[in-house]
Chain A
């Protein structure tokens, strides 16, 4: 009765879409077939900005977004994408849970319901020259996702001037040597075949790429209240499962990259690491107030410091 049209960049047959199919089955079961998803995988509905337009227009209702799409709706979310913020997935989970309600309210104000986080995972730098200290970055002709303010601030803070290109041009650019450094998750590095043109991967991650599944408030409100509850609860638990699966998959991808001959550059020594962390802090402040207020940066950083201190004890 209620057909939720859902779009994602994740291709058919990926873990992402498989979990979405399971979620669809489960929701159909719980609502006696009244509510279900119709899936548009693999970017057939366009990139994230196109999908957003279609949702505004009512042609689509729901989608899985990465930071780029989420930031179009609620720029604050992009704090999660900022460089050198998280050091492990425990920290990611802690912060994302802590801030779930705050951001859920933010999204609702913009006309969307947050069904759950589904982050892309840690993003690493792949290059043809090994990078294990800040100074090494200068030897890299770094690609940058064109028009991405977060990437721009990140590389500015690292003191390098990247080459902005659309994702589709990156492969050719790597081939011709226009760029010799790129960043993405291990899974994507394999899917996009960028690893075939690079030699090294930094073990020290650049950032954690955020992601989430949203549904338009208009569609959500059409559902009877008990179905709303089912949708919210089921989605959240399936998306948590998806997050674990995709982390596992990223871990496997790192191994696959090693098998393909990619050399992993060990994390830099502590003093160097500190320089990276400082650059991260600087980058976060460069995006104030365009993306978020300073208070949010401080709130997140303090919460993380507390969490770290508690865990060290």
Chain B
């Protein structure tokens, strides 16, 4: 478990770095486009396409990190009235469910990227479009890993709680 957490944190660090890089590029590049067009009446022709794909990267990196911090948007109505014990069990189920859904989304994304790779579409400057799309599969893969981890953690805490309760 310790090792898995270590991997989880290392991944998060890499993701955060990428995320900050993407967002900084986004701000600078789109600002540059405005300046270029208004003062030099030109613009980078690949700029806008690239920017929009950065949105995709930011979205999936952000979502993956949101998974790590348990910060996904949810409805969460029942769990507020449940007892802590039942809530833990519910958490195991919902996290496991989300992991399974993420797995299928990742699988779908891999199929999608396969089709795109086959079609040989080029985004700009000879870069194939699938290179930009790969983040969808990576993102869902990371989310799957983390949801599963959450479920596992909850499972282990339940055992711990039981062990602590038994002697008394």
Which of A56, A164, A166 is B45 in contact with, Cβ under 8 Å? A164
Produce 1/0 per residue, B90-129, CB < 8 A to A. Answer: 0000000000000000000000100110110100100000
* Distance in Å: Cβ of A178 to nearest Cβ of chain B: 9
With the chains together, A164 CA to B49 CA distance in Å? 11
Q: List 26 A-B contacts (CB under 8 A).
A: A52-B119, A53-B112, A53-B115, A53-B116, A56-B115, A56-B118, A56-B119, A57-B112, A57-B115, A72-B119, A72-B121, A146-B48, A146-B49, A147-B45, A147-B48, A147-B49, A147-B124, A152-B45, A161-B41, A161-B42, A163-B37, A163-B43, A164-B43, A164-B45, A164-B48, A166-B48
B contact set with A: CB distance below 8 Å:
37, 41-43, 45, 48-49, 112, 115-116, 118-119, 121, 124
3 closest A-B pairs by CB: A56-B115, A161-B42, A147-B49
Question: Which residue on B lies nearest to A75, using beta carbons?
Answer: B122
Instruction: Report B-chain residues with C-beta under 8 Å of the C-beta of A147.
Output: 45, 48-49, 124
With the chains together, A137 CA to B124 CA distance in Å? 27
Given A53-B112, A161-B42, 10 more pairs with CB closer than 8 A:
A53-B115, A56-B115, A56-B118, A57-B115, A72-B119, A147-B45, A147-B48, A164-B45, A164-B48, A166-B48
With the chains together, A243 CA to B48 CA distance in Å? 34
With the chains together, A56 CA to B112 CA distance in Å? 10
Instruction: Report B-chain residues with C-beta under 8 Å of the C-beta of A163.
Output: 37, 43
* Residue with the greatest number of chain B CB neighbours at <10 A, chosen from A52, A163, A164: A164
Instruction: Report A-chain residues with C-beta under 8 Å of the C-beta of B37.
Output: 163
Produce 1/0 per residue, A55-77, CB < 8 A to B. Answer: 01100000000000000100000
* Distance in Å: Cβ of B49 to nearest Cβ of chain A: 6
Instruction: Report B-chain residues with C-beta under 8 Å of the C-beta of A152.
Output: 45
Question: Which residue on A lies nearest to B116, using beta carbons?
Answer: A53
With the chains together, A147 CA to B49 CA distance in Å? 7
Question: Which residue on A lies nearest to B119, using beta carbons?
Answer: A56
Question: Which residue on B lies nearest to A52, using beta carbons?
Answer: B119
With the chains together, A53 CA to B119 CA distance in Å? 9
With the chains together, A147 CA to B118 CA distance in Å? 21
With the chains together, A72 CA to B123 CA distance in Å? 11
With the chains together, A152 CA to B119 CA distance in Å? 23
Instruction: Report A-chain residues with C-beta under 8 Å of the C-beta of B48.
Output: 146-147, 164, 166
Question: Which residue on A lies nearest to B111, using beta carbons?
Answer: A57
Question: Which residue on A lies nearest to B121, using beta carbons?
Answer: A72
With the chains together, A166 CA to B48 CA distance in Å? 10
* Distance in Å: Cβ of B145 to nearest Cβ of chain A: 27
* Distance in Å: Cβ of A168 to nearest Cβ of chain B: 13
Instruction: Report A-chain residues with C-beta under 8 Å of the C-beta of B119.
Output: 52, 56, 72
With the chains together, A164 CA to B116 CA distance in Å? 25
Produce 1/0 per residue, A152-185, CB < 8 A to B. Answer: 1000000001011010000000000000000000
Instruction: Report A-chain residues with C-beta under 8 Å of the C-beta of B43.
Output: 163-164
With the chains together, A52 CA to B115 CA distance in Å? 11
With the chains together, A110 CA to B43 CA distance in Å? 34
* Distance in Å: Cβ of B119 to nearest Cβ of chain A: 6
Question: Which residue on B lies nearest to A163, using beta carbons?
Answer: B37
Instruction: Report B-chain residues with C-beta under 8 Å of the C-beta of A52.
Output: 119
Question: Which residue on A lies nearest to B118, using beta carbons?
Answer: A56
With the chains together, A163 CA to B43 CA distance in Å? 8
* Distance in Å: Cβ of A61 to nearest Cβ of chain B: 15
